[in-house]
Protein backbone atom coordinates (compact mmCIF):
# COMPACT_ATOMS: atom_id res chain seq x y z
CA UNK A 1 0.00 0.00 0.00
CA UNK A 2 1.50 3.36 -1.07
CA UNK A 3 1.70 6.13 1.50
CA UNK A 4 0.64 9.72 0.81
CA UNK A 5 4.17 10.82 -0.12
CA UNK A 6 4.67 7.83 -2.43
CA UNK A 7 1.43 8.60 -4.23
CA UNK A 8 2.37 12.24 -4.69
CA UNK A 9 5.78 11.22 -6.03
CA UNK A 10 4.31 8.64 -8.40
CA UNK A 11 1.73 11.12 -9.72
CA UNK A 12 4.38 13.85 -10.13
CA UNK A 13 6.90 11.56 -11.83
CA UNK A 14 4.26 10.34 -14.31
CA UNK A 15 3.27 13.87 -15.19
CA UNK A 16 6.87 15.01 -15.56
CA UNK A 17 7.41 12.23 -18.09
CA UNK A 18 4.14 13.03 -19.82
CA UNK A 19 5.16 16.69 -20.19
CA UNK A 20 8.46 15.51 -21.70
CA UNK A 21 6.65 13.24 -24.16
CA UNK A 22 4.24 15.98 -25.24
CA UNK A 23 7.08 18.47 -25.74
CA UNK A 24 9.01 16.09 -27.96
CA UNK A 25 6.37 14.15 -29.93
CA UNK A 26 3.26 15.41 -31.69
CA UNK A 27 0.01 13.53 -31.14
CA UNK A 28 -0.99 10.83 -33.64
CA UNK A 29 -3.87 12.85 -35.10
CA UNK A 30 -1.59 15.83 -35.78
CA UNK A 31 1.09 13.68 -37.44
CA UNK A 32 -1.52 12.00 -39.66
CA UNK A 33 -3.03 15.34 -40.66
CA UNK A 34 0.37 16.82 -41.54
CA UNK A 35 1.20 13.77 -43.68
CA UNK A 36 -2.14 14.08 -45.53
CA UNK A 37 -1.50 17.77 -46.10
CA UNK A 38 1.96 17.21 -47.53
CA UNK A 39 0.38 14.80 -50.02
CA UNK A 40 -2.00 17.54 -51.19
CA UNK A 41 0.73 20.11 -51.82
CA UNK A 42 2.13 20.06 -55.35
CA UNK A 43 5.08 22.46 -55.46
CA UNK A 44 8.71 21.60 -54.69
CA UNK A 45 8.82 24.46 -52.17
CA UNK A 46 5.88 23.16 -50.15
CA UNK A 47 7.13 19.57 -50.34
CA UNK A 48 10.52 20.77 -49.06
CA UNK A 49 8.97 22.67 -46.14
CA UNK A 50 7.01 19.60 -45.06
CA UNK A 51 10.15 17.46 -45.47
CA UNK A 52 11.97 19.83 -43.11
CA UNK A 53 9.04 19.71 -40.67
CA UNK A 54 9.13 15.90 -40.61
CA UNK A 55 12.90 15.81 -40.33
CA UNK A 56 12.70 18.19 -37.38
CA UNK A 57 9.98 16.08 -35.73
CA UNK A 58 11.98 12.88 -36.22
CA UNK A 59 15.16 14.43 -34.84
CA UNK A 60 13.25 15.69 -31.81
CA UNK A 61 12.23 12.11 -30.99
CA UNK A 62 15.67 10.64 -31.78
CA UNK A 63 17.46 13.26 -29.67
CA UNK A 64 14.71 13.48 -27.02
CA UNK A 65 14.49 17.25 -27.42
CA UNK A 66 11.46 19.54 -27.75
CA UNK A 67 10.26 19.76 -31.35
CA UNK A 68 10.24 23.58 -31.14
CA UNK A 69 12.47 25.87 -29.12
CA UNK A 70 9.43 27.80 -27.88
CA UNK A 71 7.93 25.31 -25.46
CA UNK A 72 5.44 27.98 -24.51
CA UNK A 73 3.43 28.37 -21.35
CA UNK A 74 2.01 25.12 -20.01
CA UNK A 75 -1.76 24.86 -19.87
CA UNK A 76 -3.60 21.91 -18.33
CA UNK A 77 -7.26 21.30 -19.17
CA UNK A 78 -8.67 18.86 -16.64
CA UNK A 79 -11.83 16.78 -16.62
CA UNK A 80 -11.92 15.65 -13.01
CA UNK A 81 -14.18 12.91 -11.75
CA UNK A 82 -15.71 13.88 -8.44
CA UNK A 83 -14.49 10.57 -6.99
CA UNK A 84 -10.91 10.82 -8.28
CA UNK A 85 -9.00 10.38 -5.02
CA UNK A 86 -6.21 12.91 -5.63
CA UNK A 87 -8.11 16.09 -6.41
CA UNK A 88 -6.58 17.83 -3.40
CA UNK A 89 -3.02 17.40 -4.62
CA UNK A 90 -3.51 17.68 -8.39
CA UNK A 91 -2.67 21.39 -8.73
CA UNK A 92 0.40 21.02 -6.54
CA UNK A 93 1.52 17.95 -8.50
CA UNK A 94 1.06 19.69 -11.87
CA UNK A 95 3.11 22.64 -10.65
CA UNK A 96 5.93 20.45 -9.36
CA UNK A 97 5.91 18.33 -12.52
CA UNK A 98 6.17 21.53 -14.59
CA UNK A 99 9.11 22.71 -12.48
CA UNK A 100 10.92 19.39 -12.80
CA UNK A 101 10.22 18.99 -16.52
CA UNK A 102 11.55 22.48 -17.20
CA UNK A 103 14.90 21.31 -15.84
CA UNK A 104 14.92 17.72 -17.06
CA UNK A 105 13.58 17.95 -20.64
CA UNK A 106 14.63 20.86 -20.69
CA UNK A 107 11.83 23.31 -21.52
CA UNK A 108 12.51 26.95 -22.24
CA UNK A 109 11.64 29.02 -19.16
CA UNK A 110 9.00 31.45 -20.42
CA UNK A 111 6.99 32.51 -17.36
CA UNK A 112 7.42 36.16 -16.37
CA UNK A 113 5.43 37.64 -13.51
CA UNK A 114 3.85 40.86 -14.76
CA UNK A 115 4.80 43.32 -12.07
CA UNK A 116 8.24 41.97 -11.18
CA UNK A 117 9.31 41.67 -14.83
CA UNK A 118 11.39 38.67 -13.82
CA UNK A 119 11.50 35.29 -15.48
CA UNK A 120 11.03 32.79 -12.66
CA UNK A 121 13.27 30.33 -14.53
CA UNK A 122 11.12 27.22 -14.05
CA UNK A 123 7.82 27.94 -15.82
CA UNK A 124 5.96 28.18 -12.51
CA UNK A 125 4.68 31.64 -11.68
CA UNK A 126 1.46 33.49 -10.98
CA UNK A 127 -1.34 31.17 -12.22
CA UNK A 128 1.27 29.25 -14.18
CA UNK A 129 0.94 26.53 -15.14
CA UNK A 130 -2.57 27.50 -16.15
CA UNK A 131 -5.11 24.96 -14.87
CA UNK A 132 -8.68 24.78 -16.17
CA UNK A 133 -11.10 22.50 -14.33
CA UNK A 134 -14.23 20.72 -15.47
CA UNK A 135 -16.00 18.52 -12.93
CA UNK A 136 -17.31 15.15 -14.12
CA UNK A 137 -19.99 13.65 -11.85
CA UNK A 138 -20.04 9.95 -10.95
CA UNK A 139 -16.51 9.28 -12.15
CA UNK A 140 -13.29 8.31 -10.39
CA UNK A 141 -11.10 9.09 -13.43
CA UNK A 142 -9.14 12.18 -14.37
CA UNK A 143 -8.37 13.28 -17.93
CA UNK A 144 -5.63 15.87 -18.39
CA UNK A 145 -5.03 17.63 -21.70
CA UNK A 146 -1.73 19.46 -21.88
CA UNK A 147 -1.20 22.30 -24.35
CA UNK A 148 2.04 24.17 -24.87
CA UNK A 149 1.06 27.74 -25.65
CA UNK A 150 3.87 29.32 -27.63
CA UNK A 151 4.19 33.02 -28.38
CA UNK A 152 3.90 32.70 -32.16
CA UNK A 153 0.50 31.12 -31.89
CA UNK A 154 -0.66 33.29 -28.97
CA UNK A 155 0.11 36.63 -30.65
CA UNK A 156 -2.61 36.25 -33.35
CA UNK A 157 -5.35 35.79 -30.71
CA UNK A 158 -8.29 38.17 -31.17
CA UNK A 159 -11.72 38.65 -29.62
CA UNK A 160 -14.66 40.87 -30.47
CA UNK A 161 -18.30 41.21 -29.47
CA UNK A 162 -20.65 41.82 -32.39
CA UNK A 163 -24.22 43.06 -32.37
CA UNK A 164 -26.85 40.50 -33.33
CA UNK A 165 -27.75 42.69 -36.30
CA UNK A 166 -24.25 41.94 -37.67
CA UNK A 167 -25.27 38.28 -37.89
CA UNK A 168 -23.18 35.16 -37.36
CA UNK A 169 -21.61 35.76 -40.80
CA UNK A 170 -19.76 38.75 -39.28
CA UNK A 171 -17.32 36.38 -37.64
CA UNK A 172 -16.03 35.14 -41.00
CA UNK A 173 -14.04 38.25 -42.10
CA UNK A 174 -12.95 38.67 -38.48
CA UNK A 175 -11.45 35.15 -38.49
CA UNK A 176 -9.88 35.66 -41.93
CA UNK A 177 -8.23 38.90 -40.80
CA UNK A 178 -6.77 37.16 -37.73
CA UNK A 179 -5.41 34.26 -39.78
CA UNK A 180 -4.15 36.28 -42.78
CA UNK A 181 -2.57 39.00 -40.64
CA UNK A 182 -0.71 37.93 -37.49
CA UNK A 183 -1.58 34.26 -38.05
CA UNK A 184 0.97 34.03 -40.85
CA UNK A 185 3.73 34.42 -38.26
CA UNK A 186 2.56 31.33 -36.39
CA UNK A 187 4.23 28.70 -38.60
CA UNK A 188 1.28 27.51 -40.75
CA UNK A 189 -0.48 25.19 -41.35
CA UNK A 190 -2.58 26.38 -38.44
CA UNK A 191 -5.36 24.87 -36.44
CA UNK A 192 -7.88 27.67 -35.98
CA UNK A 193 -9.95 27.59 -32.79
CA UNK A 194 -13.08 29.75 -32.72
CA UNK A 195 -15.01 30.36 -29.52
CA UNK A 196 -18.57 31.65 -29.75
CA UNK A 197 -20.13 32.83 -26.52
CA UNK A 198 -22.15 35.52 -24.85
CA UNK A 199 -19.21 37.68 -23.76
CA UNK A 200 -15.55 38.08 -24.43
CA UNK A 201 -14.17 35.83 -21.70
CA UNK A 202 -16.24 32.77 -22.34
CA UNK A 203 -15.60 33.10 -26.08
CA UNK A 204 -11.85 33.27 -25.34
CA UNK A 205 -11.85 30.15 -23.15
CA UNK A 206 -13.88 28.27 -25.75
CA UNK A 207 -11.50 29.29 -28.54
CA UNK A 208 -8.66 27.50 -26.72
CA UNK A 209 -10.88 24.48 -26.04
CA UNK A 210 -11.52 24.42 -29.79
CA UNK A 211 -7.74 24.27 -30.35
CA UNK A 212 -7.32 21.23 -28.09
CA UNK A 213 -10.16 19.24 -29.68
CA UNK A 214 -8.99 16.20 -31.63
CA UNK A 215 -8.55 16.67 -35.37
CA UNK A 216 -11.29 14.96 -37.34
CA UNK A 217 -14.01 15.89 -34.85
CA UNK A 218 -16.87 18.24 -35.72
CA UNK A 219 -19.08 20.72 -33.93
CA UNK A 220 -22.09 18.73 -32.67
CA UNK A 221 -24.66 21.00 -34.36
CA UNK A 222 -24.94 20.50 -38.16
CA UNK A 223 -24.87 24.27 -38.73
CA UNK A 224 -21.78 24.60 -36.52
CA UNK A 225 -20.08 21.77 -38.43
CA UNK A 226 -21.06 23.42 -41.73
CA UNK A 227 -19.55 26.74 -40.63
CA UNK A 228 -16.34 24.93 -39.66
CA UNK A 229 -16.23 23.38 -43.13
CA UNK A 230 -16.92 26.65 -44.95
CA UNK A 231 -14.23 28.57 -43.08
CA UNK A 232 -11.73 25.71 -43.54
CA UNK A 233 -12.41 25.62 -47.28
CA UNK A 234 -12.15 29.40 -47.55
CA UNK A 235 -8.85 29.58 -45.70
CA UNK A 236 -7.50 26.70 -47.78
CA UNK A 237 -8.39 28.57 -50.96
CA UNK A 238 -6.23 31.58 -50.17
CA UNK A 239 -3.20 30.20 -51.99
CA UNK A 240 -1.28 30.07 -48.72
CA UNK A 241 0.59 26.99 -47.53
CA UNK A 242 3.11 25.94 -44.93
CA UNK A 243 5.14 28.82 -43.41
CA UNK A 244 2.72 31.31 -44.99
CA UNK A 245 4.28 30.80 -48.43
CA UNK A 246 2.40 29.94 -51.64
CA UNK A 247 0.61 26.64 -51.31
CA UNK A 248 -2.71 24.85 -51.20
CA UNK A 249 -3.57 24.65 -47.51
CA UNK A 250 -3.21 27.25 -44.80
CA UNK A 251 -5.00 25.31 -42.08
CA UNK A 252 -5.13 21.83 -40.59
CA UNK A 253 -8.70 22.58 -39.67
CA UNK A 254 -11.13 25.03 -38.09
CA UNK A 255 -12.82 24.06 -34.84
CA UNK A 256 -15.72 25.93 -33.26
CA UNK A 257 -16.75 25.55 -29.62
CA UNK A 258 -19.85 27.42 -28.53
CA UNK A 259 -22.04 28.32 -25.61
CA UNK A 260 -25.41 30.07 -25.80
CA UNK A 261 -25.28 33.78 -26.61
CA UNK A 262 -27.08 36.67 -24.97
CA UNK A 263 -30.03 37.77 -27.05
CA UNK A 264 -28.15 41.00 -27.78
CA UNK A 265 -24.56 39.76 -28.34
CA UNK A 266 -22.45 37.58 -30.61
CA UNK A 267 -19.06 37.16 -28.94
CA UNK A 268 -16.27 35.61 -30.99
CA UNK A 269 -12.67 34.79 -30.11
CA UNK A 270 -10.00 33.34 -32.39
CA UNK A 271 -7.00 31.35 -31.26
CA UNK A 272 -4.55 29.49 -33.46
CA UNK A 273 -2.08 26.69 -33.07
CA UNK A 274 0.94 26.26 -35.30
CA UNK A 275 2.03 23.09 -37.09
CA UNK A 276 3.70 21.92 -33.87
CA UNK A 277 0.30 21.52 -32.25
CA UNK A 278 1.60 20.20 -28.95
CA UNK A 279 -1.54 18.89 -27.33
CA UNK A 280 -1.53 15.59 -25.53
CA UNK A 281 -4.05 13.68 -23.45
CA UNK A 282 -3.47 11.39 -20.48
CA UNK A 283 -6.22 9.61 -18.54
CA UNK A 284 -5.71 8.37 -15.00
CA UNK A 285 -7.67 5.77 -13.11
CA UNK A 286 -7.98 6.11 -9.37
CA UNK A 287 -4.99 3.74 -8.87
CA UNK A 288 -2.93 6.12 -11.10
CA UNK A 289 -2.74 3.61 -13.93
CA UNK A 290 -2.98 5.57 -17.16
CA UNK A 291 -3.64 5.56 -20.87
CA UNK A 292 -2.52 8.08 -23.48
CA UNK A 293 -4.99 8.01 -26.37
CA UNK A 294 -3.02 10.52 -28.45
CA UNK A 295 0.32 8.64 -28.39
CA UNK A 296 0.05 5.10 -29.75
CA UNK A 297 2.69 2.72 -28.41
CA UNK A 298 4.11 5.20 -25.90
CA UNK A 299 4.71 4.47 -22.23
CA UNK A 300 5.98 6.67 -19.44
Site for ligand SF4 in 257-276 (CB under 6 A): 274, 276
Smallest gap from Cβ 229 to ligand SF4, in A, equals 25
Using CB under 6 A, pick the residue from 68, 194, 212, 256 that binds ligand SF4: 68
Using CB under 6 A, pick the residue from 105, 125, 187, 267 that binds ligand SF4: 187
Decide: is 70 part of the binding site for ligand SF4 (CB under 6 A). yes
Decide: is 19 part of the binding site for ligand SF4 (CB under 6 A). no
Decide: is 179 part of the binding site for ligand SF4 (CB under 6 A). no
Decide: is 183 part of the binding site for ligand SF4 (CB under 6 A). no
Q: Which one, 161 or 191, has the nearer CB to ligand SF4?
A: 191
Smallest gap from Cβ 76 to ligand SF4, in A, equals 18
Decide: is 186 part of the binding site for ligand SF4 (CB under 6 A). yes
Nearest residue (beta carbon) to ligand SF4: 152
Secondary structure string (H, E, C) spanning the chain: CCCHHHHHHHHHHHHHHHHHHHHHCCCHHHHHHHHHHHHHCCCHHHHHHHHHHHHHHHHHHHHCCCCCCCCCEEEEEEEEECCCCCHHHHHHHHHHHHHHHHHHCCCCCCCEECCCCEECCCCCECCECEEEEEEECCCCCEEEEEEEECHHHHCCCEEEEECHHHCHHHHHHHHHHHHHCHHHHHCCCEEEEEEEECCHHHHHHHHHHHHCCCCCCCCCCHHHHHHHHHHHHHHCCCCECHHHCECCCCEEEEEEEECCCCCCCEEEEEEEECCCCCEEEEEECCCCCEECCCCCCCCC
Q: Which one, 119 or 154, has the nearer CB to ligand SF4?
A: 154
Site for ligand SF4 in 128-157 (CB under 6 A): 150, 152-153
Interface map 219-258 toward ligand SF4 (x if CB under 6 A): ----------------------------------------
Q: Which one, 64 or 230, has the nearer CB to ligand SF4?
A: 64
Residues making contact with ligand SF4 (CB under 6 A): 68, 70, 150, 152-153, 186-187, 274, 276
Amino acid sequence: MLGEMDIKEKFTARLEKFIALAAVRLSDDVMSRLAEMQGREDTPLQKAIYDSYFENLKMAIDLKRPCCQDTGMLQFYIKAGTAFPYLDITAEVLTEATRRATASVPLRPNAVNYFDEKNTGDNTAERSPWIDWEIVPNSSDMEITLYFSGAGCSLPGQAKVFKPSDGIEAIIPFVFDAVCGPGINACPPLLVGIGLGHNIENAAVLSKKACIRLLGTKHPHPKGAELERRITDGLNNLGMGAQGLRGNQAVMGVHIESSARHTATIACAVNVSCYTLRRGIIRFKKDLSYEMPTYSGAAL
